């Protein structure tokens, strides 16, 4: 970590340490709420700084460059009046933490629950999440993943339109609300992953370009010009995001970050920004003695992102594996179109169990090229798998969850397929009780023209689907409200049994060493593509576990390797889980999974 100023406002010994990066400005000042204006002092590399007692925690302020209009702080910690309002000074040292005994588990022990703060509870706040921590603990969750909380326009958004990476969304509870939630999670033995976006800014309230070259025209992304990680002045842009990473870990006690779509980060410099983030986090961990994880969303199938530095990798700890999801969904009956078109169902599901990546240096018909590289030496704890997540639910036109697309039995089978994998499992909020409400795309832009453009863009995106139904209006309050979880369903018929099945499945995964140990080497698969069955065998020490999955609509015979004396640990067809009951001896029900345990390897 270098000695450059930390962007924004920090407090030390009752004085505000102020820093803003504006390399092209000839003059810079801070405008206080009372109208007073204090000149900032120029410093190396385009920074403007001031140390003063005039700004106190809770005070509002803006920056003024070359006599122009006052603007919010690009490194603001609080935007109580939204993205266009004044920034508010916050002293991050004022929170009284109670988690001194907390130890962040190794990733191998993570069982992740992804949630969106605004729709997880009726309150739509961090406090609303905190009220359900006992439930999550009982479910067996060891880590929650919170979708982005960086300040966005209005109060309804997935979070990927954030424009203040340092500021916590005011309608969720702000910085103090997030700190309280993290502290409460640690008291419940639950780690916290925060989703952050370092590949783009949202379209409304983005004042970054007014301060300096945060963007470069060298590369273009789906959101416009790329963030400047390797062009002129990129050092300070990199510093801005590195300090943001360190803030979440140091000041908010976040356990892991999930970096959104890192394939959209354009950096062809000598040291990739992810590698520099890794080095700074390692230095922080050495100083504090705390453990932090870096997880990436990645669709390049390139292990350089998760390989360690000694193998010339970027050193990320883990990544999401969309290909496991795609193969599983096609196996379960999803149509082979869009991003599912490259996936052949059960054979590719078996390959993902064995190889993590499906496309690992083979020809991709959808891409019309050979794609990916092998990740044979990367442990199972570096891959996160799921049967649904916010993207693959919310990017459907109607936002349907698996509960609306697949039978009750198939939902249990898909859950089992995820939970018996040699990878880190992740659930999407509500799937464990078959929540029927959709998770739709929603925004609350305050610019009417932008809101209308988003509305029209969403309709145009699905115009070729030729359906009688229309894409929901992203700007409508009803779209947001219809995406909220229905907690009153937990004790109702069907939902209660699904929840019980998930609890049993999670418990078994943790109790059986052959499943709990994420050793990709101790694994075999036997696939029958005609009968749509897959036998997954995993073992550890003297224990072997056989997981028989039947994705077909008919009963299938059960067969095991010779000398395997097995006992059933879990059968998804049991009436206890609202199933049809077990098949005759030697057979497995349609759309079901049976987990067997054997002491003979």
Ordered by start, the domain boundaries in the chain are: 8-92, 515-598
Q: Are 258 and 248 in contact (CB under 8 A)?
A: no
For residue 93, name the pLDDT band (cuts at 50, 70, 90): very high
> What is the per-residue pLDDT for 455?
93
Percent of the chain exceeding pLDDT 70 equals 98
Calculate Rg over the CA atoms of the chain.
Answer: 25
- SS3 percent helix, strand, coil of the chain, rounded to 5, is 30, 20, 45
For residue 601, name the pLDDT band (cuts at 50, 70, 90): very low
Helices 408-419 & 322-332 angle (0-180, nearest 10): 150
592-598 vs 543-550, strand pairing mode: antiparallel
> What is the per-residue pLDDT for 600?
56
- What pLDDT digit, counting tens, does each position of 419-450 carry? 999 999 999 999 999 999 999 999 999 999 99
> What is the per-residue pLDDT for 198?
98
CA 55 vs. chain centroid, Å, equals 36
From the candidates 73, 204, 230, 260, which is the catalytic residue? 260
- What pLDDT digit, counting tens, does each position of 366-401 carry? 999 999 999 999 999 999 999 999 999 999 999 999
Catalytic annotation present for 204: no
Percent of the chain exceeding pLDDT 90 equals 93
Feature table: binding site: 258-263, 322-326, 390-395
Does residue 1 register a pLDDT over 80?
Answer: no
Q: Which residue has the higher pLDDT, 601 or 101?
A: 101
**CATH number 3.40.30.10 given to 8-92:** no
Count of CA atoms in the C-beta half-sphere (13 A) of 271: 11
215-221 vs 47-52, strand pairing mode: unpaired
Residues β-bridged to residue 547: 536, 595
Mean pLDDT of the chain: 96
> What is the per-residue pLDDT for 529?
97
Q: Are 165 and 150 in contact (CB under 8 A)?
A: yes
For residue 459, name the pLDDT band (cuts at 50, 70, 90): confident
Q: Are 180 and 97 in contact (CB under 8 A)?
A: no
Region 308-321 average pLDDT: 97
Residues β-bridged to residue 48: 20, 42
Q: What is the dihedral of CA 173, 179, 180, 182, to 10 degrees?
A: 120
* Host H or E run for residue 526: strand 523-528
CA distance 237 to 261: 18
Catalytic annotation present for 531: no
> What is the per-residue pLDDT for 561?
74
How far is CA 344 from each of CA 256, 370, 529, 548, rounded to the nearest angstrom?
Answer: 34, 16, 10, 19
The DSSP secondary structure of 329-365, one letter per residue, reads HHHHT--S-GGGTT--THHHHHHHHHHS-S-SSEEET
CA distance 260 to 76: 21
pTM, two decimal places: 0.98
CA distance 74 to 209: 10
Three-state secondary-structure class, residue 381: helix
Q: Is the dihedral of CA 267, 271, 272, 276 positive or negative?
A: negative
383-385 vs 369-371, strand pairing mode: unpaired
- Among 86-100, 181-195, 320-334, 552-566, which stretch is predicted with the lowest mean pLDDT? 552-566
From the candidates 183, 267, 297, 342, which is the catalytic residue? 297
Ramachandran assignment for 511, one of left (phi > 0), alpha (psi -120 to 50 degrees), beta (any other): alpha
The CATH code of the domain at 515-598 is: 2.60.40.1180
- Among 94-108, 125-139, 349-363, 550-564, which stretch is predicted with the lowest mean pLDDT? 550-564
Feature table: binding site for substrate: 258-263, 322-326, 390-395
């Amino acid at each position: 970590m270098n000695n450059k100023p930390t962007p924004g406002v920090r407090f030390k010994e009752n004085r505000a340490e102020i820093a803003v990066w504006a390399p092209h400005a000839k003059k810079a000042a801070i405008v206080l709420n009372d109208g007073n204006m204090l000149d900032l002092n120029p410093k190396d590399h385009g920074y403007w700084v001031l140390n003063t007692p005039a700004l106190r925690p809770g005070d509002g302020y803006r920056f003024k460059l070359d006599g122009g209009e006052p603007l919010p702080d690009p490194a603001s910690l609080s935007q109580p009046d939204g993205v266009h309002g004044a920034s508010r000074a916050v002293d991050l040292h004022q929170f009284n933490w109670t988690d001194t005994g907390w130890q962040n588990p190794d990733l191998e022990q993570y069982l992740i629950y992804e949630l969106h703060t605004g729709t997880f509870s009726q309150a739509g706040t961090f406090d609303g999440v905190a009220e359900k921590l006992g439930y999550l603990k009982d479910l067996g969750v060891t880590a929650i993943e919170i979708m982005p909380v960086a300040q966005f326009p209005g109060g309804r958004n997935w979070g990927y339109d954030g424009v203040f990476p340092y500021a916590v969304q005011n309608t969720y509870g702000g910085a103090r609300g997030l700190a309280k939630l993290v502290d409460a999670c640690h008291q419940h033995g639950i780690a916290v992953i925060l989703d952050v976006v370092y590949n783009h800014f949202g379209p409304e309230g983005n004042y970054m370009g007014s301060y300096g070259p945060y963007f470069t025209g060298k590369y273009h992304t789906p959101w416009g010009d790329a963030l400047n990680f390797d062009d002129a002045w990129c050092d300070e842009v990199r510093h801005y995001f590195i300090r943001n990473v360190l803030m979440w870990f140091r000041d908010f006690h976040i356990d892991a970050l999930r970096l959104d779509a890192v394939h959209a980060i354009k950096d062809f410099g000598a040291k990739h920004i992810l590698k520099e983030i890794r080095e700074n986090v390692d230095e922080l961990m050495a100083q504090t003695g705390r453990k932090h994880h870096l997880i990436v969303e990645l669709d390049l199938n390139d292990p350089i992102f998760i390989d360690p530095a000694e193998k010339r990798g970027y050193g990320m700890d883990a990544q999401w594996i969309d290909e496991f999801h795609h193969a599983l969904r096609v196996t379960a009956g999803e149509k082979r179109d869009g991003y599912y078109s490259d996936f052949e169902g059960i054979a590719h599901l078996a390959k993902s169990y064995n190889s993590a990546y499906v496309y690992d240096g083979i020809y991709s018909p959808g891409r019309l090229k050979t794609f990916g590289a092998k990740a044979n030496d990367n442990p199972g704890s570096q891959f996160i798998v799921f049967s649904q997540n916010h993207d693959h639910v919310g990017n459907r036109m109607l936002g349907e969850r698996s509960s609306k697309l697949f039978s009750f039995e198939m939902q249990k089978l898909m859950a089992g397929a995820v939970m018996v994998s040699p990878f880190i499992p992740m659930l999407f909020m509500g799937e464990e009780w078959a929540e029927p409400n959709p998770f739709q795309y929603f925004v609350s832009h305050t610019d009417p023209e932008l809101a209308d453009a988003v509305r029209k863009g969403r309709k145009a995106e699905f115009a070729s689907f030729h359906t009688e139904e229309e894409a929901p209006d992203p700007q409508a309050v009803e779209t947001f409200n219809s995406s909220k979880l229905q907690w009153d369903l937990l004790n109702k018929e069907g939902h209660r049994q699904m929840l019980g099945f998930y609890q049993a499945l999670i418990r078994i995964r943790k109790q059986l060493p052959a499943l709990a140990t994420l050793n990709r080497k101790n694994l075999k698969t036997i696939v029958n593509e005609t009968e749509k069955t897959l036998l997954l065998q995993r073992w550890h020490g003297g224990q072997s576990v056989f997981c028989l999955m039947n994705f077909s609509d008919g009963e299938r015979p059960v067969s095991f390797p010779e000398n395997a004396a097995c006992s059933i640990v879990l059968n998804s067809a049991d009436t206890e889980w609202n199933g049809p009951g077990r098949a005759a001896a030697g057979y497995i029900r349609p759309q079901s999974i049976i987990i067997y345990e054997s002491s003979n390897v």
